[in-house]
Amino acid sequence: MALRSSYRTPFSDRSIAVSGTGIRLTFKLFASFLSVAVFLLLALSFLFTSSSDPSDLSVGNSHDLYRGGLRRSVLALKSDPLKPRLDQIKKQADDHRALALAYASYARKLKLENSKLVRVFAELSRNFTDLISKPSYRTLFDSDGNSMNEPVLRQFEKEVKERIKVTRQVVAEAKESFDNQLKIQKLKDTIFAVNEQLTKAKKQGAFSSLIAAKSIPKSVHCLAMKLMEERIAHPDKYTDDRNTPPEFEDPNLYHYAIFSDNVLAASVVVNSAVKHSKDPSKHVFHVVTDKMNLGAMQVMFKMKDYNGAFIEVKSVEDYKFLNSSYVPVLKQLESAKLQQFYFENKLENATKDTTNMKFRNPKYLSILNHIRFYLPELYPKLHRILFLDDDIVVQKDLTGLWKIDMDGKVNGAVETCFGSFHRYAQYMNFSHPLIKEKFNPKACAWAYGMNFFDLDAWRREKLTEEYHYWQSLNENRTLWKLGTLPPGLITFYSTTKPLDKSWHVLGLGYNPSISMDEIN
In the 8-state DSSP scheme, what is residue 345?
-
Q: What is the pLDDT of residues 45-92, one digit of tens each?
A: 544 444 444 333 333 443 343 344 434 333 333 444 777 888 888 888
The whole-number pLDDT of residue 12 equals 40
Q: For residue 32, what are the CA distances in angstroms to 21, 45, 260?
A: 17, 20, 139
Number of Cα atoms under 13 Å in the Cβ half of residue 88:
8
Mean pLDDT split into 10-residue runs, the chain, 520 residues: 38 39 49 59 50 38 40 40 81 85 75 66 84 80 71 85 87 74 79 92 82 77 90 84 86 97 94 95 96 93 91 94 91 72 54 53 75 96 96 92 95 88 90 94 93 97 96 89 90 95 79 74
Q: How far apart are CA 323 and CA 332, in angstroms?
A: 11
Q: How far apart are CA 230 and CA 331, in angstroms?
A: 36
The whole-number pLDDT of residue 387 equals 98
- Report helix, strand and coil shares of the chain as percent, to nearest 5: 60, 10, 30
Q: CATH number of 226-518: 2.60.40, 3.40.50, 3.40.1360, 3.90.550?
A: 3.90.550
Smallest Cα–Cα separation from 351: which of 242, 205, 496, 213?
A: 205
Number of Cα atoms under 13 Å in the Cβ half of residue 47:
5
The 3-class secondary structure across 262-291, one letter per residue, is CHHHHHHHHHHHHHCCCCHHHEEEEEEECH
In the 8-state DSSP scheme, what is residue 244?
P
Q: How far apart are CA 64 and CA 221, in angstroms?
A: 122
In the 8-state DSSP scheme, what is residue 499?
P
The whole-number pLDDT of residue 33 equals 59
pTM comes to 0.61
Smallest Cα–Cα separation from 216: which of 288, 268, 264?
A: 264
Chain centroid offset of residue 316 CA: 44
Q: How far apart are CA 365 and CA 332, in angstroms?
A: 10
The whole-number pLDDT of residue 492 equals 97
Q: Are strands 496-498 and 450-454 parallel, antiparallel or unpaired?
A: unpaired
Smallest Cα–Cα separation from 240: which of 190, 174, 309, 311?
A: 311
In the 8-state DSSP scheme, what is residue 286?
E
Sign of the dihedral through C-alpha 287, 291, 292, 295: positive
Sign of the dihedral through C-alpha 118, 124, 130, 133: negative
The whole-number pLDDT of residue 44 equals 53
Q: For residue 511, what are the CA distances in angstroms to 265, 288, 417, 508, 515?
A: 20, 30, 15, 6, 10
Angle subtended at Cα 190 by Cα 188 and Cα 193, rounded to the nearest 5 degrees:
110
Chain centroid offset of residue 334 CA: 32
What φ, ψ does residue 498 adopt, rounded to 5°? -70, 135
Starting at the edge strand found earlier in the chain, the sheet holding 496-498 runs 310-315, 283-289, 254-259, 384-388, 450-454, 411-413, 496-498
Domain ranges of the chain: 226-518
The whole-number pLDDT of residue 510 equals 65
Q: How far apart are CA 518 and CA 520, in angstroms?
A: 6
